[in-house]
Structure 1
Amino acid sequence: MLNFTVDKELCVLCGLCAKDCVFGIIELDDYPQIKNEKKCIKCQHCLAVCPTGALSIMGNTAEGSTPLKGNLPEADQVEVLLKGRRSVRTYKEEPLEAATIEKLMEIAWHAPTGVNSQSVLVTLMDDPADVKKFSDEIYHRLEEGIEAGSLPETDLAHYIKWAYRMKKDTGMDMIFRGAPHFIFVSSPADAPSPTADTHIFMSYFEIMAQSMGVGTLWNGFLKYTVDFIFPDLREKLGIPENHQVGYAMIFGRPAVKYQRTVNRGAANVNRVTWQG
């Protein structure tokens, strides 16, 4: 049940909820009503757009939401946040507080998904001791595979083998970078937009992490090691067989502090006109 309700004392019959409804299932019949609940994708646009806070849906109310007016950051602040984001490759050993990880997850969960499917799965390993054991197993299996010549002969495998040699020869952990936590983000392969959904979630996660002093790294080494070199590890991590892994990300408190933004020059834009 959607439990779509209207406070008639607050409703001014502006019709914005009906106009903004994704599938046009809200109609003004004296007051707003949802005519076909089966078509509702639970996006809550109606709740968000109502100027008087008259609507509630699925137990969510205007009182339980944060007003946008006066609470949004200025554009120049967002610019610095985005330009100041760095890929962090050195981390402090100390783990993040559980409340910090929970907050990151809750906020990133507001990332958009195709048809609001909300089918993204976040596979989290947040115990540094478990991360260490998982890392040890991966490097041990890489050693065995290299000695036996059983690893794939591909460009991706070449980089993973190089990461193993770096660990063995110099002690530098190219896969986990000493980070205390990691996530894999996946989505059912038959979801409306599985790749985009996972990447958007991770982008939300990363930017929010940046604002909280948490470092992140989109980790191709980890993603390809688990998803390509040793795919049986997917099952051990609890990633469903029918899921497509978007990417992996390590995170934690940075052991390096960046002081300023960088300059990348003008965007590479293909500006077109249409002549029919």
Structure 2
Amino acid sequence: MKNNLAKFCFDKDKCIACGKCIKVCPGQLLKFNENKDVIIKDIDCFGWDGCWKCQHCMAVCPKSAISVLGKSPEECVTPPESENLPQILDALIKNRRSHRQYLNKDVDKRVLDDILKTVQNAPNGGNKGLVEYTVIDDKEQVKYFHDIVYSKMEKLANKGIYANGYDKKSYEQLKEWEKIVRPDMLFCSAPNLCIPHAPVGEGCYIQDVNIACVYFDLLCSSRGLGSIMMTYPLDVLDLMPKEKSMLGIPDNHYIAMIIGFGYPKIKYKRGVDKFNENKIKKLKFKI
């Protein structure tokens, strides 16, 4: 092949010519040649008109005969075989809570690095992988940023200027909650912050960012961390462009929420069931 931009490699000795890699390639780049070897079309780009970087071809091969993008089957993760997986995932989702009180300590860097590595496998439109993650993993840095924003927020409130959707009454209610339920109305005392974001107008940027937030949140829960998905701080930061720019996020990037996370001060003992049959609408068409 003339242009193997995707670094596609095929091992003829392992291949059984099942054709699964050809069937799952979203860009329809693969085919058999006259010798039943799997070959890839010449491409000069990644994306819609080239390789999608999805690695479907390598993931589906039953004989580990394909490598792509400089990665090999040996680097892949095998599917878990536990019969208890449905129960484990159900329990994870049902036990996930919004935490508003945390221990004053940073999340272990190895744990956070593992989360950030895994979350980039979250589904995204066209597999473009445009979501970026701005992370503050130092509680002192979070406190520094918090104090600047909080002080400005109070000065604006004294002038009758509140975040979008809030007024004097609701602002004072948040302040009241700080005495018991929410010690910090801005970041809920979270020692670390994560902000997924993506360029506006590219790919499915709104859906991609929201999905990334949910995946990050669940990954935190799976590791015993508390987390909370917050929109109020974003509304506050919209009132103060200078302070918002401290995050270093491009102005043309979409942000859905700020995720606070850390080791929870209060641990929950059980998950609850919020199922409501009336919220399920099963469609049936007349055929």
Alignment pair present for 1:99 and 2:110: yes
2:66 maps to a residue whose letter is L
- 1:166–1:172 contact (8 Å) kept in structure 2: no
Alignment pair present for 1:269 and 2:275: no
Structure 2 counterparts to residues 162-177 of structure 1, below 5 A: 162=172, 165-166=175-176, 172-177=183-188
Structure 2 vs 1, CA of residues 224 and 15 (structure 1 numbering), >3 Å: closer, same or farther?
same
The 1-side partners of 2:168 and 2:255 are apart by 21
Query: For residue 251 of structure 1, what is the aligned residue in structure 2?
Result: 261
Give 1:159 deviation, angstroms: 7.9
Query: For residue 221 of structure 2, what is the aligned residue in structure 1?
Result: 210
The 2-side partners of 1:159 and 1:33 are apart by 66
Contiguous gaps of at least 5 residues in structure 2 = none
Query: For residue 232 of structure 2, what is the aligned residue in structure 1?
Result: 221
The 2-side partners of 1:73 and 1:231 are apart by 48
Structure 2 vs 1, CA of residues 181 and 158 (structure 1 numbering), >3 Å: closer, same or farther?
farther
| Secondary structure of the structure 2 residue equivalent to 1:203 | helix
The 2-side partners of 1:100 and 1:208 are apart by 10
Structure 2 counterparts to residues 64-213 of structure 1, below 5 A: 64-68=75-79, 70=81, 74-149=85-160, 151-152=161-162, 154-156=164-166, 161-162=171-172, 165-166=175-176, 172-213=183-224
Contiguous gaps of at least 5 residues in structure 1 = none
Structure 2 vs 1, CA of residues 9 and 181 (structure 1 numbering), >3 Å: closer, same or farther?
same
Q: Deviations over 1:112-148 (max 9, x none)?
A: 1111111111111111111111111111101221223
2:64 corresponds, among 53, 77, 83, to 53
Number of aligned residue pairs: give it. Answer: 274
The 2-side partners of 1:127 and 1:153 are apart by 26
2:202 maps to a residue whose letter is A
The 1-side partners of 2:284 and 2:266 are apart by 45
1:26 corresponds, among 15, 25, 30, to 30
Deviates more, 1:247-256 or 1:29-38: 29-38
Query: For residue 3 of structure 1, what is the aligned residue in structure 2?
Result: 7
* Aligned-pair Cα RMSD in Å: 2.3
- 2:22–2:28 contact (8 Å) kept in structure 1: yes
Alignment pair present for 1:239 and 2:257: no
Q: TM-score, normalised by structure 2?
A: 0.88
2:239 maps to a residue whose letter is I
